[in-house]
């Protein structure tokens, strides 16, 4: 694909993203679009840490939950405006990410995976058991919505869509800048060959901590968005399944690519809703069975995910045209 | 006071024996094949359900002994299929990340297939002793739990003897120590992988039956034995079988004592707190040798 046509595609994509909720007036579909966008941010932030930097984090749900609980509690208990709460939630998650990054400096593979799971599980138990603060497994409800301004309200799916879209655009813009810069190159060096990267002067400790912090910030930010959108959160946000959700979306879309988690998040959100109709018909819970099977098949047979497959197909087509 | 402490230590050792059994399977598979199988606890879940159905069909003693045999055979067979279909195709080209993620896929798949086939209702295994308790001076426990402990010990001892005496057992250990050298000695690596994975899975299945005598059985239960087994395995040094056996008991006792004296609510966090501290201070585990 040439540079010009790629730009055109981007412009078309942006226009479509902006116009989409006006083209589809069904509120249920609009709700799915909002959910997809929140998961775009969540999955992309996991992808930055695991896909780009190779740090196998299985506790990403911790950041999601910290962001959601922090922003919700700040609004409920201290009356902090939710717009500020979104960023404070992100910042608190970032601080947690920095802390979690410290043991990770010495750990990799299964050791890092278990440490990060442990971190998230401990926080989930706190959210379950600190009943005075979090209402335990009942969860927090009545979380205030994002306050409106300039006559705009952010309580409907339609308007919240633009908030989530702006958030996703901000996250993706940051990730694009990061991964296309020298920083991104160093990250990939870190993933491919850590001692090698160190030997050519990459300060791996500083890079790991930085990437943990940034990834955690956006993980927390997406959680805070979810809290003010759903206005109801529970300790399930911190569970292993939430991390696996981000993982499945990213792998199926394409690990270590910018567009992979976007494709995966949108596809799986709509797929699981589509399957819900099938489930109602056949009375069987097939959604997660398909998730698991897709995950295995993707890793075994198409490691690049959908984006990798697309790139290989379009590269093949390009070659055919040149030859023909 | 004293008897409560002793009682909790005994309870901890009983739970710990089951943790050890499940973790030994996990650590063996890791030691030989470098696979961290996050679906390991789901093999235990399958073992537990085999016992549920067999005991419903043949109640009492016969059913209980039959359950152990059937779980070992059934889950071992499942292990062979999974190794052949899911893990072997990746063995030569994968990274740590790939194989952990494929096992997570397996975890999601098995958990939800179980929900589909077995239903979400929790089940328990019936007690062949009919709830008899055994008094041993200061402490007492049910005969069922005592049997569970004894079975776990017997299986662990049999495994130890097998790994150190049998030809195949020695070959498995040799492969774990040095794959290339083992291959040069004429050991068929693919066969070793299949046997190790089957054996490790069978241990998970047996552990699942015993786990089911202590706790409730439900389709998503597998996450708990998986996480406990990983905690135990890391504590003992990944790939270290004796380390896993001892660490299983340590975790069991730490959990019951922590649950009694610190906080029942945070019982499941104790293992994680221990390993985070251990990894920060001694990254190779309590019984680990430093990596070459």
Supply the DSSP symbol for A53: T
Tell me whether residue B289 is in a domain: no
Number of domains, chain B: 1
Give the ipTM of the model, two decimals please: 0.86
Q: Is there a contact between B106 and A118 if contact means CB atoms under 8 Å apart?
A: no
Contacts of B285 (CB under 8 A, 6+ apart): B234, B235, B236, B237, B238, B240, B243, B247, B278
Q: Which of A196, A127, A299, A5 has its CA nearest to residue B86?
A: A299
Q: Which among B98, B106, B269 has CB closest to A292?
A: B106
Distance CA A184, CA A188 (A): 6
In chain A, whose CA is at the least distance from the CA of B231? A114
Tell me whether residue B41 is in a domain: yes
Q: Is there a contact between B86 and A106 if contact means CB atoms under 8 Å apart?
A: no
In chain B, whose CA is at the least distance from the CA of A239? B223
Confidence at B202, pLDDT banded by 50, 70, 90: very high
Tell me whether residue B71 is in a domain: yes
Tell me whether residue B192 is in a domain: yes
Q: Which residues of A touch B (CB under 8 A)?
A: 50, 54, 56, 103, 106-111, 113-115, 117-119, 121-122, 125, 128-129, 240, 244, 247-248, 251, 284-286, 288-289, 291-296, 299-300, 303
pLDDT digits (tens, 9 = 90+) for B90-127: 877 667 788 888 999 999 999 989 988 888 889 988 77
Distance CA A306, CA B245 (A): 43
Q: Is there a contact between A296 and B276 if contact means CB atoms under 8 Å apart?
A: no
Q: Which among B36, B108, B276 has CB closest to A103?
A: B276
State mean pLDDT over B199-209: 95
Q: Does B102 touch chain A (CB under 8 A)?
A: yes
Tell me whether residue B234 is in a domain: no
| Contact predicate A300/B90, CB 8 Å | yes
Q: What is the pLDDT of residue A252?
A: 92
Q: Which of A60, A86, A47 has its CA nearest to residue A263?
A: A47
Q: Does B269 touch chain A (CB under 8 A)?
A: yes
> Which residues on chain B are in Cβ contact (under 8 Å) with A53?
none
Distance CA A112, CA B91 (A): 21
| 3 state SS of A26 | coil
Tell me whether residue B155 is in a domain: yes
| Contact predicate B233/B35, CB 8 Å | no
> Which residues on chain B are in Cβ contact (under 8 Å) with A285?
112, 115-116
Q: How many CB atoms lie within 10 A of CB A126?
A: 18
Task: Answer whether residue B128 shows pLDDT above 90.
Answer: no
Q: What is the pLDDT of residue A324?
A: 38
Helix axes B96-118, B40-57, angle to 10 degrees: 20
Q: What is the pLDDT of residue A271?
A: 87
Chain B interface disruption, residue of A47, A62, A118, most B CBs within 10 A = A118
> Which residues on chain B are in Cβ contact (under 8 Å) with A125?
265-266, 268-269
- Mean pLDDT rounded to a whole number for chain B: 88
User: How many residues are there in chain A?
Assistant: 324
Q: What is the pLDDT of residue B159?
A: 92
> Which residues on chain A are in Cβ contact (under 8 Å) with B280?
103, 106
* Residue whose tokens read 């394409």: A254
Q: What is the pLDDT of residue B210?
A: 93
Vertex B58: Cα angle to B54 and B63 (nearest 5): 70
In chain A, whose CA is at the least distance from the CA of B230? A114
Q: Which among B108, B231, B268 has CB closest to A244?
A: B108
> Which residues on chain B are in Cβ contact (under 8 Å) with A113?
36, 100
Q: Is there a contact between B265 and A247 if contact means CB atoms under 8 Å apart?
A: no
Distance CA B203, CA A264 (A): 36
Chain A interface disruption, residue of B86, B104, B239, B274, most A CBs within 10 A = B104
Q: Which among B116, B269, B276 has CB closest to A115?
A: B276
Q: Is there a contact between B116 and A295 if contact means CB atoms under 8 Å apart?
A: no
* Residue whose tokens read 């494709």: A263
Q: Does B32 touch chain A (CB under 8 A)?
A: no
Q: Both tokens of residue A285?
A: 């819970």
Task: Answer whether residue B71 shows pLDDT above 90.
Answer: yes
Q: What is the pLDDT of residue B291?
A: 45
Q: What is the pTM of this model?
A: 0.89
Q: What are phi and psi of A97, to 5 degrees?
A: -65, -40
Tell me whether residue B236 is in a domain: no
Q: What is the pLDDT of residue B56?
A: 86
Distance CA B37, CA B225 (A): 12
Q: How far is A204 from chain B (nearest CA, A)?
A: 18
The full DSSP string for A171-239 is HHHHHHHHHHSHHHHHHHHHHH-HHHHHHTT--HHHHHHHHHHHHHHHHHHHHHHHHHHHSEE-GGGGS
Q: Is there a contact between B101 and A251 if contact means CB atoms under 8 Å apart?
A: yes
3-state helix/strand/coil string of chain B:
CHHHHHHHHHHHHHHHHHHHHHHHHHHHHHHHHCCCCCCHHHHHHHHHHHHHHHHHHCCHHHHHHHHHHHHHHHHHHHHHHHHHHHHHHHCCCCCHHHHHHHHHHHHHHHHHHHHHHHCCCCECCCCCCCCCEEEECCEEEEHHHHHHHHHHHHHHHHHHHHHHHCHHHHHHHHHHHCHHHHHHCCCCHHHHHHHHHHHHHHHHHHHHHHHHHHCCECHHHHHHHHHHHHHHHHHHCCCCHHHHHHHHHHHHHHHHHHHHHCCCCCHHHHHHHHHHHHHHHCCCCCCCCCCC
User: What is the span of the domain harbouring residue B77?
Assistant: 2-225
3-state helix/strand/coil string of A98-165:
HHHHHHHCCCCHHHHHHHHHHHHHHHHHHHHHCHHHHCHHHCEECCCCCCCECCECCCCHHHHHHHHH
Size of interface A-B (CB pairs under 8 A): 118
Q: What is the pLDDT of residue A180?
A: 84
Tell me whether residue B191 is in a domain: yes
Q: Any idea which of B34-38, B114-118, B171-175, B286-290 has the lowest mean pLDDT?
A: B286-290
HSE value, Cβ hemisphere, 13 Å, CA-based, for B84? 10
Q: What is the pLDDT of residue A275?
A: 81
pLDDT digits (tens, 9 = 90+) for A243-266: 999 999 999 998 888 889 999 999
Q: Which of A185, A183, A190 has its CA nearest to residue A205?
A: A190
In chain A, whose CA is at the least distance from the CA of B89? A300
Helix axes A60-78, A109-129, angle to 10 degrees: 30
> Which residues on chain A are in Cβ contact (under 8 Å) with B36?
109-110, 113
Q: Is there a contact between A296 and B96 if contact means CB atoms under 8 Å apart?
A: no
The region that residue B75 occupies, defined by phi over 0 for left and psi between -120 and 50 for alpha, beta otherwise, is alpha
Distances (CA, A) of A281 to A15, A292, B109: 36, 21, 21
Q: How far is A15 from chain B (nearest CA, A)?
A: 35
Q: Is there a contact between B105 and A110 if contact means CB atoms under 8 Å apart?
A: no
Chain A interface disruption, residue of B99, B100, B105, most A CBs within 10 A = B105
Q: Is there a contact between A285 and B115 if contact means CB atoms under 8 Å apart?
A: yes
Please list the ranges in chain A whose pLDDT falls under 70.
1-4, 151-152, 154-155, 282-284, 317-324
Q: Does B3 touch chain A (CB under 8 A)?
A: no
Q: Does B264 touch chain A (CB under 8 A)?
A: no
| Percent with pLDDT over 70 in chain A | 93
Q: Is there a contact between B108 and A122 if contact means CB atoms under 8 Å apart?
A: no
């Amino acid at each position: 694909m040439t540079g010009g046509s790629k730009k055109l595609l981007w412009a078309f994509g942006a226009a479509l993203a902006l116009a989409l909720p006006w083209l589809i007036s069904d509120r249920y579909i609009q709700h799915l679009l909002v959910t997809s966008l929140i998961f775009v941010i969540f999955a992309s932030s996991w992808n930055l840490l695991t896909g780009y930097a190779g740090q196998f984090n299985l506790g990403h749900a911790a950041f999601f939950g910290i962001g959601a609980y922090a922003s919700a509690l700040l609004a409920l208990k201290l009356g902090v405006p939710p717009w500020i709460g979104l960023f404070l939630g992100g910042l608190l998650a970032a601080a947690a990410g920095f802390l979690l990054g410290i043991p990770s400096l010495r750990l990799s593979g299964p050791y890092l995976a278990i440490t990060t799971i442990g971190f998230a599980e401990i926080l989930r138990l706190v959210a379950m058991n600190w009943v005075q603060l979090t209402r335990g497994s009942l969860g927090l409800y009545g979380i205030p919505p994002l306050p409106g301004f300039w006559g705009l309200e952010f309580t409907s799916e339609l308007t919240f869509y633009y908030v989530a879209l702006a958030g996703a655009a901000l996250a993706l813009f940051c990730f694009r800048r990061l991964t296309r810069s020298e920083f991104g190159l160093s990250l990939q060096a870190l993933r491919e060959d850590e001692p090698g990267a160190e030997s050519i002067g990459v300060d791996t400790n500083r890079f790991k901590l930085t990437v943990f912090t940034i990834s955690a910030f956006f993980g927390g930010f997406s959680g805070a968005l979810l809290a003010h959108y759903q206005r109801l959160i529970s300790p399930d946000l911190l569970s292993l399944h939430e991390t696996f959700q981000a993982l499945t979306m990213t792998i199926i879309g394409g690990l270590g690519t910018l567009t992979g988690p976007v494709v995966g998040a949108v596809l799986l959100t709509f797929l699981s809703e589509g399957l819900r109709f099938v489930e109602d018909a056949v009375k069987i819970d097939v959604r997660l069975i398909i998730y698991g099977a897709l995950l295995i098949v993707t890793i075994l047979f198409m490691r690049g995910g959908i984006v990798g497959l697309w790139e290989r197909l379009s590269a093949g087509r390009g070659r055919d045209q040149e030859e023909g | 006071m004293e008897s409560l402490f002793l009682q909790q230590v005994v309870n901890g050792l009983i739970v710990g024996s089951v943790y050890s059994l499940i973790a030994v399977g996990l650590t063996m598979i890791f030691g030989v094949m470098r696979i961290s199988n996050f679906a390991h606890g789901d093999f235990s879940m399958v073992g537990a359900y085999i016992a549920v159905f067999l005991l419903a069909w043949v109640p009492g003693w016969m059913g209980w002994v039959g359950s152990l045999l059937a779980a070992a055979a059934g889950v071992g067979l499942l292990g062979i299929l999974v190794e052949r279909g899911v893990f072997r195709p990746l063995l030569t080209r994968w990274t740590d990340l790939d194989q952990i993620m494929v096992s997570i896929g397996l975890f999601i798949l098995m958990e939800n297939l179980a929900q589909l086939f077995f239903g979400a209702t929790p089940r328990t295994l019936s007690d062949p002793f009919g709830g008899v308790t055994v008094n041993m001076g200061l402490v007492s426990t049910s005969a069922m739990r005592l049997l569970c402990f004894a079975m776990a010990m017997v299986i662990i001892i049999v495994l130890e003897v097998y790994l150190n005496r049998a030809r195949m057992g020695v070959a498995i250990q040799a492969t774990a120590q040095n794959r290339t050298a083992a291959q040069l000695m004429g050991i068929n690596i693919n066969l070793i992988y299949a046997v190790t994975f089957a054996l490790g899975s069978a241990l998970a299945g047996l552990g699942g039956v015993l786990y089911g005598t202590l706790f409730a059985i439900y389709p998503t239960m597998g996450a708990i034995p998986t996480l406990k087994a990983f905690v135990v395995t890391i504590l003992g040094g990944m790939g270290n079988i004796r380390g896993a056996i001892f660490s299983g008991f340590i975790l069991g006792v730490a959990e019951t004592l922590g649950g009694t004296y610190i906080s029942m609510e945070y019982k499941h966090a104790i293992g994680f707190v221990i390993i985070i501290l251990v990894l920060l201070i001694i990254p190779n585990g309590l019984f680990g040798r430093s990596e070459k």
